[in-house]
Amino acid sequence: MTLVDREIKEQHDDLILQGYDEKNINPTSYDLTIGSILSGHGESDVLTLLPNATVFVKTKEEIHIPDNLCGHIGEKNSRIREGLWVSGPTYFPGHTTFVFLRVRNVSQNEITIKAGDKIAQISFEKLGTTPDHPYNTIPDASFNEEDEYRGMGKYTSEYEKRIRPVSDKRDKLAILALIGLLASIFSANLIFTLLGMVDFVSFPSKIIVFAINLSLGIIIGLFAGLLESALLWNPKGR
Protein backbone atom coordinates (compact mmCIF):
# COMPACT_ATOMS: atom_id res chain seq x y z
CA MET A 1 0.00 0.00 0.00
CA THR A 2 1.32 3.45 -0.96
CA LEU A 3 1.09 6.55 1.22
CA VAL A 4 -1.39 9.12 -0.10
CA ASP A 5 -1.08 12.91 0.10
CA ARG A 6 -2.69 13.19 3.51
CA GLU A 7 -0.35 10.59 5.02
CA ILE A 8 2.73 12.20 3.45
CA LYS A 9 1.75 15.54 5.02
CA GLU A 10 1.21 13.92 8.40
CA GLN A 11 4.59 12.13 8.30
CA HIS A 12 6.66 14.70 6.41
CA ASP A 13 8.90 15.47 9.41
CA ASP A 14 10.08 11.87 9.36
CA LEU A 15 10.16 11.45 5.57
CA ILE A 16 11.74 14.68 4.28
CA LEU A 17 14.42 15.86 6.69
CA GLN A 18 15.57 18.81 4.56
CA GLY A 19 14.02 20.75 1.68
CA TYR A 20 10.37 19.93 2.39
CA ASP A 21 7.75 21.96 0.52
CA GLU A 22 4.09 21.05 0.88
CA LYS A 23 3.44 22.25 -2.69
CA ASN A 24 5.49 19.29 -3.94
CA ILE A 25 3.03 16.72 -2.59
CA ASN A 26 1.10 14.78 -5.22
CA PRO A 27 -1.82 12.36 -4.67
CA THR A 28 0.56 9.42 -4.03
CA SER A 29 4.08 10.86 -4.24
CA TYR A 30 6.38 13.77 -3.46
CA ASP A 31 8.24 15.78 -6.12
CA LEU A 32 12.03 15.89 -5.79
CA THR A 33 13.91 18.99 -6.91
CA ILE A 34 17.45 19.57 -8.11
CA GLY A 35 19.86 20.85 -5.46
CA SER A 36 23.00 20.67 -7.61
CA ILE A 37 24.20 19.09 -10.84
CA LEU A 38 27.23 16.78 -10.88
CA SER A 39 29.18 16.38 -14.11
CA GLY A 40 32.74 15.97 -15.35
CA HIS A 41 33.15 19.71 -14.92
CA GLY A 42 32.32 19.59 -11.22
CA GLU A 43 29.22 20.78 -9.38
CA SER A 44 26.97 23.47 -10.82
CA ASP A 45 23.53 25.06 -10.46
CA VAL A 46 22.72 25.07 -14.18
CA LEU A 47 23.83 22.90 -17.08
CA THR A 48 22.82 22.38 -20.71
CA LEU A 49 22.68 18.72 -21.68
CA LEU A 50 23.58 17.81 -25.25
CA PRO A 51 21.81 14.85 -26.89
CA ASN A 52 22.81 11.56 -25.20
CA ALA A 53 24.66 13.40 -22.40
CA THR A 54 24.30 11.98 -18.88
CA VAL A 55 24.84 13.62 -15.49
CA PHE A 56 23.97 12.95 -11.87
CA VAL A 57 21.95 15.39 -9.79
CA LYS A 58 21.79 15.72 -6.05
CA THR A 59 18.35 16.64 -4.76
CA LYS A 60 17.59 19.51 -2.44
CA GLU A 61 15.67 17.03 -0.31
CA GLU A 62 17.25 14.74 2.25
CA ILE A 63 14.99 11.77 2.77
CA HIS A 64 14.54 9.28 5.58
CA ILE A 65 12.78 5.96 5.07
CA PRO A 66 11.17 4.59 8.27
CA ASP A 67 11.54 0.89 9.05
CA ASN A 68 7.98 0.14 7.89
CA LEU A 69 8.35 1.79 4.44
CA CYS A 70 10.45 1.73 1.30
CA GLY A 71 10.86 4.55 -1.24
CA HIS A 72 10.47 4.20 -5.02
CA ILE A 73 11.78 6.78 -7.50
CA GLY A 74 9.49 7.56 -10.42
CA GLU A 75 9.84 9.78 -13.49
CA LYS A 76 7.71 12.87 -14.00
CA ASN A 77 5.45 12.81 -17.05
CA SER A 78 6.48 16.35 -18.01
CA ARG A 79 10.20 15.48 -17.95
CA ILE A 80 9.65 12.35 -20.04
CA ARG A 81 7.91 14.44 -22.70
CA GLU A 82 10.68 17.02 -22.58
CA GLY A 83 13.18 14.32 -23.47
CA LEU A 84 14.83 13.50 -20.13
CA TRP A 85 15.29 10.00 -18.78
CA VAL A 86 15.61 10.11 -14.98
CA SER A 87 16.38 7.02 -12.94
CA GLY A 88 17.12 6.24 -9.32
CA PRO A 89 17.24 3.26 -6.96
CA THR A 90 14.78 1.87 -4.45
CA TYR A 91 15.45 3.27 -0.99
CA PHE A 92 15.33 0.67 1.75
CA PRO A 93 13.84 0.87 5.25
CA GLY A 94 16.25 2.74 7.52
CA HIS A 95 17.90 4.64 4.65
CA THR A 96 18.76 8.30 5.26
CA THR A 97 20.33 10.21 2.38
CA PHE A 98 20.14 12.96 -0.18
CA VAL A 99 18.80 11.48 -3.39
CA PHE A 100 21.24 11.08 -6.30
CA LEU A 101 19.56 10.65 -9.67
CA ARG A 102 20.95 9.83 -13.09
CA VAL A 103 19.63 12.23 -15.74
CA ARG A 104 20.10 11.59 -19.46
CA ASN A 105 19.01 13.64 -22.45
CA VAL A 106 17.43 11.09 -24.82
CA SER A 107 16.14 13.72 -27.24
CA GLN A 108 17.81 15.28 -30.27
CA ASN A 109 17.75 18.72 -28.65
CA GLU A 110 19.79 20.57 -26.05
CA ILE A 111 17.99 20.67 -22.69
CA THR A 112 18.94 23.00 -19.83
CA ILE A 113 18.38 21.87 -16.25
CA LYS A 114 18.93 23.98 -13.16
CA ALA A 115 18.75 23.96 -9.39
CA GLY A 116 15.18 24.17 -8.13
CA ASP A 117 13.71 22.22 -11.06
CA LYS A 118 11.32 19.40 -10.24
CA ILE A 119 13.15 16.40 -11.66
CA ALA A 120 11.52 13.20 -10.30
CA GLN A 121 9.13 11.93 -7.66
CA ILE A 122 9.31 9.50 -4.78
CA SER A 123 6.49 7.32 -3.51
CA PHE A 124 6.44 5.60 -0.13
CA GLU A 125 5.27 2.00 0.05
CA LYS A 126 3.99 0.50 3.30
CA LEU A 127 5.51 -2.88 4.17
CA GLY A 128 3.64 -5.83 5.66
CA THR A 129 6.25 -6.02 8.41
CA THR A 130 9.59 -4.49 9.29
CA PRO A 131 12.82 -6.12 8.03
CA ASP A 132 15.22 -7.88 10.40
CA HIS A 133 18.09 -5.72 9.15
CA PRO A 134 17.13 -2.17 8.08
CA TYR A 135 19.63 -0.43 5.79
CA ASN A 136 21.08 1.75 8.56
CA THR A 137 22.07 -1.36 10.55
CA ILE A 138 24.17 -2.86 7.73
CA PRO A 139 27.84 -2.17 8.65
CA ASP A 140 29.13 -1.71 5.07
CA ALA A 141 26.12 0.09 3.56
CA SER A 142 27.77 2.24 0.88
CA PHE A 143 25.12 4.87 0.41
CA ASN A 144 23.58 5.52 3.81
CA GLU A 145 23.91 9.13 5.01
CA GLU A 146 25.36 10.10 1.63
CA ASP A 147 25.74 13.88 1.89
CA GLU A 148 28.21 14.07 -1.00
CA TYR A 149 28.31 11.86 -4.08
CA ARG A 150 30.30 8.67 -3.37
CA GLY A 151 30.44 7.27 -6.86
CA MET A 152 30.27 3.47 -6.80
CA GLY A 153 31.04 3.27 -3.09
CA LYS A 154 32.28 -0.13 -1.94
CA TYR A 155 31.74 -1.50 -5.45
CA THR A 156 34.43 0.73 -6.99
CA SER A 157 37.25 -1.84 -7.04
CA GLU A 158 34.94 -4.48 -8.52
CA TYR A 159 33.29 -2.35 -11.21
CA GLU A 160 36.08 0.02 -12.32
CA LYS A 161 38.10 -2.78 -13.90
CA ARG A 162 35.13 -3.57 -16.16
CA ILE A 163 34.91 -0.03 -17.52
CA ARG A 164 36.90 1.11 -20.53
CA PRO A 165 36.38 4.57 -22.06
CA VAL A 166 35.05 4.46 -25.61
CA SER A 167 37.72 6.97 -26.64
CA ASP A 168 40.38 4.27 -26.18
CA LYS A 169 38.79 2.13 -28.88
CA ARG A 170 38.32 5.13 -31.14
CA ASP A 171 41.98 6.13 -30.83
CA LYS A 172 43.23 2.61 -31.55
CA LEU A 173 40.98 2.26 -34.58
CA ALA A 174 42.09 5.63 -35.93
CA ILE A 175 45.72 4.52 -35.67
CA LEU A 176 44.94 1.23 -37.42
CA ALA A 177 43.13 3.06 -40.21
CA LEU A 178 46.05 5.45 -40.68
CA ILE A 179 48.57 2.59 -40.75
CA GLY A 180 46.48 0.74 -43.32
CA LEU A 181 46.18 3.81 -45.51
CA LEU A 182 49.91 4.57 -45.33
CA ALA A 183 50.76 0.93 -46.05
CA SER A 184 48.58 0.88 -49.14
CA ILE A 185 50.05 4.16 -50.43
CA PHE A 186 53.58 2.89 -49.81
CA SER A 187 52.88 -0.38 -51.63
CA ALA A 188 51.32 1.51 -54.55
CA ASN A 189 54.36 3.78 -54.86
CA LEU A 190 56.74 0.84 -54.56
CA ILE A 191 55.01 -1.22 -57.23
CA PHE A 192 54.65 1.80 -59.50
CA THR A 193 58.37 2.54 -59.14
CA LEU A 194 59.37 -1.06 -59.81
CA LEU A 195 57.16 -1.23 -62.85
CA GLY A 196 58.70 1.97 -64.11
CA MET A 197 62.06 0.21 -64.21
CA VAL A 198 60.72 -2.47 -66.55
CA ASP A 199 60.54 -1.43 -70.19
CA PHE A 200 57.94 -3.96 -71.29
CA VAL A 201 55.28 -2.71 -68.86
CA SER A 202 52.89 -0.40 -70.64
CA PHE A 203 51.59 2.89 -69.23
CA PRO A 204 47.96 1.63 -68.99
CA SER A 205 49.17 -1.29 -66.88
CA LYS A 206 50.81 1.13 -64.47
CA ILE A 207 47.55 3.04 -64.14
CA ILE A 208 45.66 -0.17 -63.41
CA VAL A 209 48.13 -1.22 -60.71
CA PHE A 210 48.00 2.23 -59.12
CA ALA A 211 44.18 2.19 -59.17
CA ILE A 212 44.12 -1.22 -57.50
CA ASN A 213 46.37 -0.08 -54.68
CA LEU A 214 44.46 3.17 -54.21
CA SER A 215 41.24 1.18 -54.00
CA LEU A 216 42.88 -1.03 -51.38
CA GLY A 217 43.66 2.03 -49.27
CA ILE A 218 40.08 3.29 -49.55
CA ILE A 219 38.67 -0.11 -48.62
CA ILE A 220 40.93 -0.34 -45.56
CA GLY A 221 39.83 3.12 -44.42
CA LEU A 222 36.14 2.28 -44.92
CA PHE A 223 36.57 -1.05 -43.13
CA ALA A 224 38.17 0.67 -40.13
CA GLY A 225 35.31 3.15 -40.02
CA LEU A 226 32.71 0.39 -40.12
CA LEU A 227 34.58 -1.50 -37.42
CA GLU A 228 34.61 1.59 -35.23
CA SER A 229 30.87 2.10 -35.72
CA ALA A 230 30.19 -1.52 -34.82
CA LEU A 231 32.24 -1.30 -31.62
CA LEU A 232 30.69 1.98 -30.51
CA TRP A 233 27.09 1.06 -31.37
CA ASN A 234 24.97 0.37 -28.28
CA PRO A 235 21.34 -0.54 -29.03
CA LYS A 236 20.28 0.07 -25.43
CA GLY A 237 21.68 3.59 -25.42
CA ARG A 238 23.64 3.05 -22.23
CATH number for position 108: 2.70.40.10
How far is it, in rounded angstroms, from Cα 87 to Cα 103?
7
Residues 89-98 have pLDDT tens digits of: 999 999 999 9
Number of domains in the chain: 2
Q: What's the mean pLDDT in 34-49?
A: 93
C-alpha distances in Å from residue 184, one per residue of 28, 219, 238:
66, 10, 37
Does residue 129 lie in a domain region?
A: yes
Q: Write down the pLDDT at residue 164.
A: 81
Name the 3-class secondary structure at 76: coil
Q: What is the pLDDT of residue 202?
A: 57
- In this predicted structure, what is the pLDDT of residue 212? 62
Q: Are residues 72 and 132 in the same domain?
A: yes
Rounded-to-integer distance, Cα 76 and Cα 86, Å: 8
Domain with 148 in it: 5-160
Domain end among 126, 160, 194: 160
* Residues 115, 223 share a domain: no
Residue-wise over 68-98: b if at least 16 C-beta within 10 A, else e?
A: ebbbebbbbeebeeebbebebeebbbbbebb
What mean pLDDT value characterizes the chain? 84
Provide the 3-class DSSP secondary structure of residue 41: coil
Last residue of a domain, one of 160, 189, 218: 160
pLDDT at 57: 97
- Which of 160, 178, 199 terminates a domain? The answer is 160
Helix (H, G, I), strand (E, B) or coil at 9: helix
CA distances for 179 relative to 216, 222, 224, 228, angstroms: 13, 13, 11, 15
pLDDT at 222: 65
Is residue 177 predicted with pLDDT exceeding 90?
A: no
Same domain membership, residue 151 and residue 191: no
Q: What percent of the chain has pLDDT over 90?
A: 57
